[in-house]
Structure 1
Amino acid sequence: MPLFEQEGSPRGRLRVFVRAQLPLLLATAFVVAVVAVAVPAAMTSPVFLLGVGVIALASLGAAVLPWETVSPNALMSVAVVDIAGVAFIRAELLDDIPSIGMLAIFPILWLAYGFHRSAVLLAVAGALFITSYGFAYGGTWPTTALQWANVITLPALIIAVAVVVNAASSQLRRNRERLLVAHDSQAAALRTSQDNELLSRAILDTVTAGVAFYDSDNRLVVANDSASALTGLVGFRLDEPPYAGENVLVADRSTTIPFDQQIIPRALRGEVIDEHVEWLGPAGAQVAIMASARQVHRPDGDLLGTVIIAYDITELAQAIDIREEFLTTVSHELRTPLTSMTGYLELLEESLPEGDATSARYLEVIARNTKTLRDRIADLLAATEAETLAEPRPVHMGTIVDTAIVAVSGHASARGQLLDVRRNDTAPAWVQGDAVQLRKALVELLTNAIKFSPTESRITIEQDTTDSEVIVTVHDRGPGLDRGERAQMFDRFYRTPFARANAIQGFGLGLAQVKNTIDGHGGRLSVASAAQRGTRVTVAIPRDKTA
């Protein structure tokens, strides 16, 4: 128990002595002083002196003997010896000092409070011994009910107090055990929380991305050094509004972004940000970042906060710029002499003598390959230029599909392939868009299907219309794409291993241009494919319900 609990150390033994035995020792010393003044004759009584000596020896034993090396219940022997000492003192002084029996409360309460419930029996037995020994010592017993009442009242009250104290002690012991369990559980939870915090901090400081988390009141909770370094380039702090700065530019590196449209203010307003690119810092020291942001909600839907992640993509952005500049330069440098070659080729064709079939055939080959080279250069130039949507106007996708099929039908026929068109329109197939760009995108999808499908195979073109979209699907019977190939198929200059192994011509730009066109029309692209099972590419464009 907290009051009399014995620790396995000399210090614990001393604590028990001070709290349990010392009060009885001091009370006994007080009684000795009172007896010396008020009842000096008792000072020579062997029984009185025996009682005082017994208590003194018990006190010495409680203070000196190494009880901590024995069972804690061994200390009950000290309390029992104390009861014997009190019985001797009471037997001698009861007539002169009737309240002397109060000394019994110290060892009896110790038994009742400091030990288990079985010790109450010792306390009761001790109270009975104190009472009965007085009668035995005096040689007379009470003869009336009043005398018996006067004799047993004090021991009975002491016993009652002992029982109550023991019950309280048991309850306190159980509460303490529960508190210890709760304390250990809380301590373990605290350690786990601290470990998780250390782990989270280590992860935040290890990743190369800048990470910041704001609570539901838009107060910064945590941010790593990378995040602080990125905002330092712009001149604002993560923990102080407006969470924005002057030198924040869009991807063109020249247009300034207003404060309220920068990443953190947008994220704290609840906007979902996916891979948004900005340039930070003054000219000559700019850093490109790609940022994403999400709100975090508890399982019950309450807002926990907002997490913002930004990656430094400066090297990648600069590499892309260098690539674009290289492609633009090479394309222009190639196109200039090619234009001259084309002009002289036309002059040769005009000056060719009639009947020179051999030269005409050679010039035809040169002209055809010159056109192919011109188309390839045009593709390279298109790859370096952002395609913009012309003035949108109502376009019927059925017409787009028909003209695209006509454009590739010769190529398909040469390979013995069948273009199977299926229309399941349930509503007018009108969209808002650019007919030229849409036709070019669909021609590219069909050309790709023709190139990668086996000869004499079937290529299916399906057109469907829903209430909100016009959907065109191109299904080939080619080698199919695995997961990694599907993830890269719309990247510029990507060519599948099958295309490289089979020397299928192309720069890997067509599907990238298709994606740009569909994105520009607010549409979506999806791909379903598996190795050796063909590929289904689906284009969905928002339907124009007003046309």
Structure 2
Amino acid sequence: MDALLSLTQRLGRVVSPSGGTDSKQLYFAGSMVALTLLISISRLELVITAPYLLALGVLALSTVLALVIRWDELRTRWAAVVPLLDIVAVALVRDLMRDTAVAVSLLAFIPSLWMAARLRLPGVWVSTLAITVLITGPIVLRAPFIDSLTLAYALLLPFTVLQIGLLVVGGLQVMDGQNRRLAEALAEKDSLLDTAATSEQLLTSIIDSVDVGILVVDREGNDALMNRSQHRIHALASPADVVDPEESQLLVRYPGTSATIPPGQRPVRRAVLGETFSNYVVDLGPPGDRASVSTSARQILDHHGEHAGAVIVFSDVTTYIESVRSQERFVAAVSHELRTPLTSVIGYLELARDDQELSPTTASFLEVTHRNAEQLLLIVEDLLADQGTRSGPQELQLRPHRLSEIAQQSADSFALRAANAGIMLETEIAETPELPLDAHRMQQAVDNLLSNAVKYTPRGGRVRVATEVGSTYLELRVIDSGIGMSAQEQTNLFTEYYRTATARDSAIEGHGIGLALTRRIVVAHGGQISVRSTQGTGSTFTIHFSLDGADGADGTDGADG
């Protein structure tokens, strides 16, 4: 038991960042001796050469110094002597075995990490310089000719040592900060446990969310951690003439536009305010050098379930966005070719409707066909105007219309499609008062809701379209008995290109466009749209208009919520 305790204490001194010079050196010397024994089994002639014996002599010298001198009583910078001698020993062995075992260079990581842990940044720079001179230098000098590949090969080891050293220093600095906070709370056991649990939860959240750029904010909204990629992204969004910009000064725009996103709707501010979201795309940087970034945020909770901060992840999706825009250009070209025949179809439909000898049934079919052809032409014209999902409708042509009539027309249009899918389409449409509406746009919004309801409801299910008029409001509801969705999925439902995991797993076709466009149309009319859903039992989408004019501001303010 005593031997195990002694071994544990010795290992603790080996990994200690601030002491244990003798233990660290014995650990390294043991590694070198083990390597020497392995080499001597097959290539004894290498071990008895002058360079190898010199390397063992240097190793012996550094080990004696580590065991004899009381390094903890000397000034900190003297701690570099022993690991520097170890690097010399590794360099001698590596140069001797340059043609057979270049991996010996990896042993230099041990004393390099030792110096980084003990001396922090000065140790990183000293070890990097030593490896560059002692290992990289001979590689370059022995090269038959020097080109970029030779330099890249030679500089790989010192560059890697530098990066790992900086990571070690950064990790130790974070650890030091945590230790200081824990030390201050040591007097209170409960406070210590709370801090430890919060730190564990923070670390878990960061590991689970790592992608590219990572920003962690505390419960007050202050930056707690920002990785190197996020520093680069932050620099891209910072104005050239501002050293430490505030959130409102950062160059953050809506995708593909020059319109600046208000501070309250920017990713970090939304996360600070407690929102959880995914795939929120923004453009960063000046117009000529912008990058498209997809952002996601997750809230951090302590073990009491209370809010402790947030993790925001930034992913560069510039290439993907450019691909999407190329597809949009392709769609616009196809739409241009569709517009002419569609116009001709509508013209001939109008001529056919003028025939006085048509039966009522045929006239009804022609009416539905004509209305849907006009709706299709409207969509084609939207694509040609490069509106689509990114900017919504251009202008509303407001005229007095009844939402109940629009709902009935949508139900009529989808009746055959629902019947073919084995779905019962029901209506409960109460006459609504006239409102200033763009009938084509509102028809498009209601059609999108009905299309989704039919698409996500299995055969044998029900879809119901209903309108309701209250004393101060009117509502249109589309209710289905389909697959439904989780609360988290409902949070992101009106985000462009977002599709629920249930929809993807069910292999149901779609692009995540319709609901985002529907929402913009409703909000542009001064209304509100909401969803209530339970996974496996169906969804209810509600379009709400206030009859006292109170919805306009609310609907607009919540457009990006």
Q: TM-score range by the shorter chain?
A: 0.3 to 0.5
TM-score of the superposed pair, with normalisation by structure 2: 0.42
TM-score of the superposed pair, with normalisation by structure 1: 0.43
State which structure, 1 or 2, has the greater radius of gyration over its C-alpha atoms.
Answer: 1
